[in-house]
Every structure is written in structure tokens, then in C-alpha cells.
Amino acid sequence: MKNILITGGAGFIGSHLVDNLLATGECRITVVDDFNDFYDPAIKSENVSPQLENANYHLFRIDIRDKPALETVFASTRFDCMVHLAARAGVRPSLEQPLLYAETNIRGTMNLLELAREHGIKQFVFGSSSSVYGINAKVPFSEDDSIRQPISPYAATKAAGELLCHTYSHLYGIRCVCLRFFTVYGPRQRPDLAIHKFARLITEGKPIPVFGDGTTRRDYTYIDDIIAGVRATIDYEASDYEVINLGESRTVELRELISLLEKTLGTEAKIDRQPLQPGDVPQTFADITKARRLLGYNPHTQIEEGILKFVEWFRHKSGGMPPSQP
């Protein structure tokens, strides 16, 4: 059985990855997560509750900034792969707490790369972000595009993480694959993210904040497609360092997203117009040619289907009708 360490494994993407890997019966999973207060820690506790019953699952409540604490994770297990998803997330909050973002996302990543070096871990998967592209006039965004002009501290820390991965791959022979996630959504999505936040406010009859005129565009990627890409990366061996986009390769305008939510929820949204926010990019759009070629990545959940699945989960969590699918 493979021993896999997943940081941030109690969060949205991480907990889905854990579920997927445990279901194979072929992996022992160790999760590191600090259950911080960026959003209600009870949400993460609920994510991991069924996983705690699995004999192949072990959880450490540790902050990745604390290297001595992290070292205890390696005391009795030799890991085949580390999937690093732990981070302070979000563009706008990073403008308010840039030092915290640098400490967690840069120093924390350094701690994990150092531990990978010290303990001979040869496979390191890094969760990066489409935000590294900044205001990129060339679309779709390709991995070869420049990322020298990030426009938020969060984006800058993710770009720094990619560079650190390259350094450790070059110096110490650690295979590092950096995955640039494009606006991931689906069941268990963080409550601060647009789709979840909008669905809650629309249901409560409260106005939703719309920054700008609603024409910003995002490449929304359903969680199952992202997990398929991460799974393929865990087994990737063709080269020692890669940066790979994981997106849907379709852009959706904010106004269209709101309309889809209104239609699926059966309720009209109240719009609270606000000015554009510093750090927000006008669009994201993934070129996934490389992911298809190297990982066999093939996203298949269009936004219309994905929103339906999300709303089914959301209603079930809110005490409404249960989802039509298990």
C-alpha cells in the first residue's frame, strides 16, 4: 500500500481527495491540518468525521509553520508521496493579512519541502492557483505564460511556492508537480467562495455582493474533475518538474453564474453592486492541453450540471430535500 501525506486534508479539495484515495483500499492516508478559524472549524470536523473510522486514515492537527511539530508526523511512517494543499487561501483576505499569508504559504511550503528532502520523499504535489497569472491578456492561460506580475499577496505566495518546488526538484531530485487550480467548486465548497456564498444569501433572501458590472469571467472547475487530475499526478513519473493547469477550459461570466443559481434554486437574487476589488483579476481561462497530454486529464462536468449537483448538496445540508445522487 502507498503511504500518502496530504496537508490541508480536512478542507474542501483535501477531504474529497482523501475520500477518493481511501475508497481504493490501496493507500494509507495521513492528513495534516490545523483547523484554523479562516472559516468555521466545525465544517472541517464534519468533513473528516467519517474518515476517522477508517483504519488506513490518521489525522494530525498541526500548523505547517511549526516544523518541529511536523517532524513528529514522520516518526513512524515513510511516505511515498506528499500532496501539499494546506494554505491560507483567498485573494481578498491576503490583502488584509499579507504577513500571515507569506508565513503560511511560503515558510510552510519550505518546511514541507525540507522534510521531503530529509526523509527521502520522491513525489511532491503542490496545490497552486490560477491567480498566479495575474492580469493576463493572452487567453487561454498557458503554463508557459509569464507569472511575473501577480496582483495579490496570495498569488505571489503561490508563485513563490512553485519556484521553491523547482529549486528542490533541481537540487535534491524530488519530483515536483505544481497544479494550478482554476476556481474549484462543488459539495463541501468553502462558505466564503462565490457559489456557496451566493446560494446561501439567495436562499435567505439577502442581497449578494457583485463587484463591478458582473462581466468578470472565471473558469469554474467541478471538484470531481480536479480530484481526477490530482490522482493522476500522484502517479506521474515522466519528468522531474512540471507546472500543469487543472481547469474546465471554459469561461463563465459572473452574470451567467448568478442566473444559473437563480434558475436552479428557483429564487431571484437581490444584487448589491460594489466597486471592483483590488487583487481580483478580470478573467481566468485554462489551457488544459498539457494536462490532457501528461495526465490524461479530461474534465467532463459542465457548469450547468455542476451547479445542479452543488445545489442538491446545499439543500441537503440546509435541511431540505436530499440529493438525488449518493
Using pLDDT thresholds of 50, 70 and 90, give the confidence band for residue 323: very low
pLDDT in the model for residue 276: 85
pLDDT in the model for residue 37: 94
Q: What are phi and psi of 103, to 5 degrees?
A: -60, -45
CA distances from 241 to 106, 196, 222 (A): 18, 34, 25
Cell of 323: 440529493
Rounded to two decimals, the pTM is 0.95
Q: How far apart are CA 160 and CA 147, in angstroms?
A: 10
In eight-state DSSP terms, residue 17 is H
- Residue 252: name the closest of 303, 298, 288 by CA: 303
Judged against a pLDDT cut of 80, whether residue 326 lies above it is answered with: no
Using pLDDT thresholds of 50, 70 and 90, give the confidence band for residue 23: very high
- Give the domain ranges of the chain: 2-187+221-249+285-300
Considering the four listed CATH numbers 3.40.50.720, 2.30.110.10, 3.30.413.10, 3.50.50.60, the one that applies to the domain covering 2-187+221-249+285-300 is 3.40.50.720
Judged against a pLDDT cut of 90, whether residue 243 lies above it is answered with: yes
pLDDT, tens digit, 9 for 90 and up, residues 50-105: 999 999 999 999 999 999 999 999 998 999 999 999 999 999 999 999 999 999 99
pLDDT in the model for residue 321: 44
Place of cell 456564498: 197
Count Cβ atoms below 10 Å from residue 35 Cβ, excluding itself.
18
- Residue 143: name the closest of 6, 292, 254 by CA: 292
pLDDT in the model for residue 180: 98
Judged against a pLDDT cut of 80, whether residue 325 lies above it is answered with: no
CA distances from 242 to 137, 209, 245, 295 (A): 23, 37, 10, 11
Where in the sequence numbering do the catalytic residues fall? 154
